[in-house]
């Protein structure tokens, strides 16, 4: 695609194009074209099924150099992980994000680049890639380059993203720094488009609840759990019981965890459970350098009294250490965990077991029925996490099959995504109906369930958009 595309005549109207997270959870990317500029909200990686992951390799639908600015809702990789590709391929503008998001991007993006390089190296060594040689989607160096473009914004303070487009970031309560973004388009007539990003839950133990929904002409709402309700109390009990029973049998509980936020929420619960005697005091290993770096960012935010931290935790010194926390940063420390045996809890990334150190633990622990795997987050279709959730008897790890004899327990109540009721309750805070609600970030069943609720209960025009669909905003 030629660079001159950025200089082509701008449309007379404002347009929105769904470049991802349409009919699926991942690959959050929404393009706004106005008479004055071109802005991208979120710049995420597609994850999960192979057909989806292949979209990361497809040519980006517009020339990256033609985009004036990018705004990020939060630092999860399916919302920011494609940034290094766009910067490498010519994006020159600023990337607007809250301080928390910027800090976490500094951890997750280089790590993602590093993982892509590792994967390519591993595939080349084993010869199991059909591409020869296998190439990384992007490198750690590309990721570091992308970080240079980050520009901090504050919650609730309007910021000019590009000519004719302002934005207000508001607390989303999903992970540290997460925001809903209200985009205010000036021409041809004032139009507000609200992006929920990922919406948090009112009861996040560390983060303040999401700020109410602002007035919107259009809303793009997430629907990850658009067809489900979280059973919190049951989940917490199931979580505690699994650890107690596994520990009693001398086994190890492995928790594949998203490095950012989920680890903090798990540690917070473990500490409370160990303090109350609900679970015995056993060693808790956090085996993920990225999770530990993120933990440091959370600890600093608590100490500083960050804008989205619950007030009662401002200045809190250490709500995360259950007393026997072992932080495994280096590879030798990670390997030592194997020698220690049970009873123990291992919290390790990645959350859907698509990569990272958790794979080594699964290979070692899955064949023995005295161990357990706790699934605490969303498991996208096509991932190893989903295979475990589905009860598949074997799992492919490092090119070979491993028997799944360990107990696999799903505790969705640990999710940091709002469930259907919580999304609907949040949308209900709108003071007026939007012209259209676009239901995004959901697999088809979840998205259509939420769409139906908005249609039937609110009387809104609600749509599940298609990949690459384009709509007029004014
Ligand atoms: Zn997220």
**Residue 73's domain is classified under what CATH number?**
3.60.15.10
471 C-alpha to ligand 1 centroid (Å): 25
On whether both 215 and 243 belong to a single domain, the answer is: no
386, part of any domain: yes
| Euclidean distance between CA atoms 446 and 258, whole angstroms | 21
Instruction: Give residue 4's pLDDT band: very low, low, confident or very high (50, 70, 90).
Output: very low
Instruction: Measure Cα distances from 454 to 219, 224, 333 in Å.
Output: 12, 15, 50
Q: Where are the beta strands (DSSP E) in 91-164?
A: 94-98, 150-153, 159-162
- Whether 463 and 437 have beta carbons less than 8 Å apart is answered as yes
On whether both 58 and 166 belong to a single domain, the answer is: yes
35 C-alpha to ligand 1 centroid (Å): 31
Query: Is 70 exceeded by the pLDDT of residue 7?
Result: no
133 C-alpha to ligand 1 centroid (Å): 32
On whether both 98 and 16 belong to a single domain, the answer is: yes
Q: DSSP secondary-structure letter at 419?
A: B
Q: Omega of the bond prior to 350 within 30 degrees of 0, cis?
A: yes
| Euclidean distance between CA atoms 100 and 179, whole angstroms | 10
On whether both 386 and 431 belong to a single domain, the answer is: no
405 C-alpha to ligand 1 centroid (Å): 31
On whether both 383 and 449 belong to a single domain, the answer is: no
* Number of folded domains that form the chain: 2
On whether both 389 and 422 belong to a single domain, the answer is: no
247, part of any domain: yes
For the four alpha carbons of 209, 43, 30 and 38, in that order, the dihedral sign comes to: positive
- Whether 34 and 56 have beta carbons less than 8 Å apart is answered as no
Average pLDDT over residues 127-146: 85
* Closest to 441 (Cα-Cα) out of 172, 161, 57: 172
On whether both 196 and 70 belong to a single domain, the answer is: yes
4, part of any domain: no
On whether both 308 and 456 belong to a single domain, the answer is: no
pTM: 0.88
125, part of any domain: yes
Average pLDDT over residues 149-159: 97
On whether both 17 and 37 belong to a single domain, the answer is: yes
280 C-alpha to ligand 1 centroid (Å): 31
Query: Is 90 exceeded by the pLDDT of residue 154?
Result: yes
> For position 3, what pLDDT does the model report?
42
User: In sequence order, what are the beta bridge partners of 18?
Assistant: 30
| DSSP helix/strand/coil, 147 | helix
On whether both 79 and 220 belong to a single domain, the answer is: yes
> For position 8, what pLDDT does the model report?
59
112 C-alpha to ligand 1 centroid (Å): 15
**Average pLDDT for the chain:** 91
Range of the structural domain that residue 166 is part of:
11-228+416-472
On whether both 334 and 409 belong to a single domain, the answer is: yes
Give the end of a domain, one of 414, 444, 463. Answer: 414
Q: Domain of 248: which CATH number?
A: 3.40.50.10890
80 C-alpha to ligand 1 centroid (Å): 10
Give the end of a domain, one of 398, 414, 430. Answer: 414
Q: DSSP secondary-structure letter at 65?
A: G
Instruction: Give residue 2's pLDDT band: very low, low, confident or very high (50, 70, 90).
Output: very low
2, part of any domain: no
On whether both 224 and 89 belong to a single domain, the answer is: yes
Give the end of a domain, one of 364, 393, 414. Answer: 414
Query: Is 60 exceeded by the pLDDT of residue 228?
Result: yes
pLDDT in tens, 288-326: 988 999 999 999 999 999 899 999 889 877 888 888 899
* Closest to 44 (Cα-Cα) out of 22, 69, 17, 20: 20
418 C-alpha to ligand 1 centroid (Å): 11
25 C-alpha to ligand 1 centroid (Å): 10
| Euclidean distance between CA atoms 22 and 292, whole angstroms | 32
Which backbone phi and psi does 78 adopt, to 5 degrees?
-80, 0
Choice among 96-105, 341-350, 391-400, 416-425 with the minimum mean pLDDT: 416-425
Q: Where are the beta strands (DSSP E) in 186-232?
A: 191-195, 218-222
> For position 322, what pLDDT does the model report?
83
| Euclidean distance between CA atoms 409 and 375, whole angstroms | 6
| Euclidean distance between CA atoms 71 and 192, whole angstroms | 15
Instruction: Give residue 128's pLDDT band: very low, low, confident or very high (50, 70, 90).
Output: low
Which backbone phi and psi does 179 adopt, to 5 degrees?
-145, 150
Pairing between β-strand 191-195 and β-strand 179-185 as defined by DSSP bridges: antiparallel
Residues, CB-to-ion distance under 5 Å, ligand 1: 76, 198
């Amino acid at each position: 695609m030629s660079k001159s595309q950025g200089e082509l005549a701008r449309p007379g109207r404002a347009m929105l194009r769904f470049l991802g997270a349409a009919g699926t959870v991942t690959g959050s990317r929404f393009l706004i074209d106005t008479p004055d500029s071109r802005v991208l909200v979120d710049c995420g990686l597609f994850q999960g099924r192979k057909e989806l992951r292949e979209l990361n390799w497809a040519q980006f639908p517009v020339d990256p150099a033609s985009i004036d600015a990018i705004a990020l809702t939060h630092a999860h990789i399916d919302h920011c992980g494609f940034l290094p590709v766009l910067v490498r391929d010519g994006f020159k503008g600023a990337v607007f994000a809250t301080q928390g998001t910027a800090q976490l991007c500094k951890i997750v993006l280089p790590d993602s680049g590093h993982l892509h390089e590792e994967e390519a190296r591993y595939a080349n060594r084993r010869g199991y890639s059909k591409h020869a040689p296998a190439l990384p989607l992007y490198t750690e160096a590309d990721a570091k380059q992308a970080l240079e473009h980050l520009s901090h914004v504050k919650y609730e303070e309007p910021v000019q993203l590009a000519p004719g487009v302002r934005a207000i970031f508001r607390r989303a309560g999903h992970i540290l720094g997460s925001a809903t973004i209200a985009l205010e388009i000036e021409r041809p007539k004032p139009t507000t488009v609200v992006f929920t990003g990922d919406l948090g839950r009112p009861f996040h133990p560390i983060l303040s609840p999401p700020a109410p929904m602002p007035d919107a002409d259009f809303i793009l709402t997430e629907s990850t759990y658009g067809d489900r309700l979280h059973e919190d109390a049951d989940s917490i009990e199931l979580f505690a019981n699994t650890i107690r029973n596994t520990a009693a049998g001398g086994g190890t509980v492995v928790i594949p965890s998203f490095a950012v936020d989920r680890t903090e929420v798990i540690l917070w619960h473990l500490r409370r459970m160990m303090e109350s005697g609900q679970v015995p005091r056993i060693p808790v290993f956090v085996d993920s350098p990225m999770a530990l770096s993120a933990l440091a960012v959370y600890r600093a935010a608590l100490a500083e009294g960050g804008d989205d931290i619950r007030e009662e935790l401002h200045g809190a010194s250490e709500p995360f250490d259950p007393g026997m926390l072992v932080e495994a940063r280096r590879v030798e420390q990670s390997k030592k965990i194997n020698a220690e045996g049970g009873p123990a809890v291992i919290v390790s990334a990645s959350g859907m077991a698509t990569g990272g150190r958790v794979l080594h633990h699964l290979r070692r622990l899955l064949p023995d029925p005295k161990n357990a795997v706790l699934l605490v987050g969303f498991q996208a279709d096509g991932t190893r996490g989903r295979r475990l959730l589905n009860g598949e008897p074997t799992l492919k790890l490092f090119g070979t099959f491993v028997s799944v004899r360990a107990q696999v327990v799903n505790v969705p109540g640990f999710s940091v995504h709002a469930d259907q009721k919580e999304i609907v309750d949040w949308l209900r805070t709108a003071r007026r109906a939007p012209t259209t609600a676009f239901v995004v970030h959901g697999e088809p069943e979840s998205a259509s369930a939420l769409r139906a609720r908005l249609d039937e209960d609110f009387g809104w025009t609600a749509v599940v958009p298609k990949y690459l669909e384009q709509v007029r905003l004014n």
